[in-house]
């Protein structure tokens, strides 16, 4: 079974630009979550989608947005990039609605560098 | 506000011995707890989880213990192997927000021969 796939793996953008990251969950998984990892803040939750609906949202500014398609694939968008947005962005998928019997499985992330 | 805390940034252990990683949490609404392992340039890999209705869960060399009254959990790895060298994250979630995990800062484990 293929794992969570994130594209691209690496991205370099200039301050003020916008960026779109893509995530393909494990086949059959309907929940997709996004996380930001930085050296200073660790792993922080961005948002979670289930069946195309945003179910939970973290404490990030409105410049960070996402969506989920009917095939469960998800994208996240960051507009007006700031230097502080440089981070590893991780996507995770889960099969069931809730519970430790369906843990989150992570992709290898997209490394975004903002210059 | 850090709701999940891993107070030991690093741990060195000899191959074959036990590794014990600790995690504390402050939010009594957390129902599920998970441990992930992470190698550089890769995403976290799920290791083991436990529900708040249990106090112990085992899977091979990995055992997680939960002490709800103390809001504390620990991961035991026995025996430790060189391939266990990685960063270990503790994470927690409430039942009504499963996809929203709160992570600790991580503990770097180094297993020496």
Q: What is the pLDDT of residues A49-76, one digit of tens each?
A: 998 999 889 999 999 999 999 999 999 9
Using a CB-CB cut-off of 8 Å, the residues of chain A touching B42 are 108-109
With an 8 Å Cβ cutoff, is B113 touching chain A?
no
Based on its alpha-carbon atoms, the radius of gyration of chain B, rounded to whole angstroms, reads 13
Residue of A nearest to B39 (CA): A108
Confidence of residue B88 (pLDDT cuts 50, 70, 90): very high
Find tokens 């402050």 and name the residue: B26
Cα of B44 to nearest chain A Cα, Å: 6
Cα of A58 to nearest chain B Cα, Å: 8
Using a CB-CB cut-off of 8 Å, the residues of chain B touching A97 are 98
Cβ within 8 Å, pair A103-B50: no
Task: Give the pLDDT confidence score for residue A1 in this predicted structure.
Answer: 64
pLDDT of residue A98 exceeding 70, the answer is no
Dist. CA A6–CA A78, nearest whole Å: 16
What 3-state DSSP class applies to B94?
coil
Q: What is the DSSP track for A34-72?
A: EEEEETTTEEEEEEEEETTEEEEE-S--TTEEEEE-TTS
Indicate the length of chain B as a whole number. 113
Could you say which residues from 1 to 30 on chain B have a Cβ atom under 8 Å away from some Cβ of chain A? Answer: none
The answer to whether B34 and B48 have CB atoms below 8 angstroms apart is yes
Task: Give the pLDDT confidence score for residue A97 in this predicted structure.
Answer: 60
A23-32 average pLDDT score: 93
Residue pairs spanning A and B at CB distance below 8 A:
72
């Amino acid at each position: 079974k293929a794992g969570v796939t994130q594209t691209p793996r690496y991205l370099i953008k200039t301050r003020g630009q916008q960026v779109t990251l893509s995530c393909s969950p494990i086949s059959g998984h309907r929940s997709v979550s996004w996380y930001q990892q930085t050296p200073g803040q660790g792993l922080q939750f961005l948002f979670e989608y289930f069946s195309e609906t945003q179910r939970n949202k973290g404490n990030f500014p409105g410049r960070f947005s996402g969506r989920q398609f009917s095939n469960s694939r998800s994208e996240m968008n960051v507009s007006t990039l700031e230097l502080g947005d440089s981070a590893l962005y991780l996507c995770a998928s889960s099969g069931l609605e809730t519970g430790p019997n369906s843990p989150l499985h992570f992709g290898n992330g997209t490394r975004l560098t903002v210059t | 506000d850090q709701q999940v805390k891993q107070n030991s940034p690093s741990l060195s252990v000899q191959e074959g011995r036990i590794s014990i990683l600790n995690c504390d949490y402050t939010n009594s609404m957390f129902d599920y707890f998970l441990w992930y392992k992470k190698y550089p340039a890769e995403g976290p890999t799920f290791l083991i989880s436990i529900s708040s209705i249990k106090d112990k869960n085992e899977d091979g060399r990995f055992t997680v213990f939960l002490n709800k009254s103390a809001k504390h959990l620990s991961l035991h790895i026995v025996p430790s192997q060189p391939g266990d060298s990685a960063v270990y994250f503790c994470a927690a979630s409430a039942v009504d927000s499963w996809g929203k995990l709160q992570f600790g800062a991580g503990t770097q484990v180094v297993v020496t021969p």
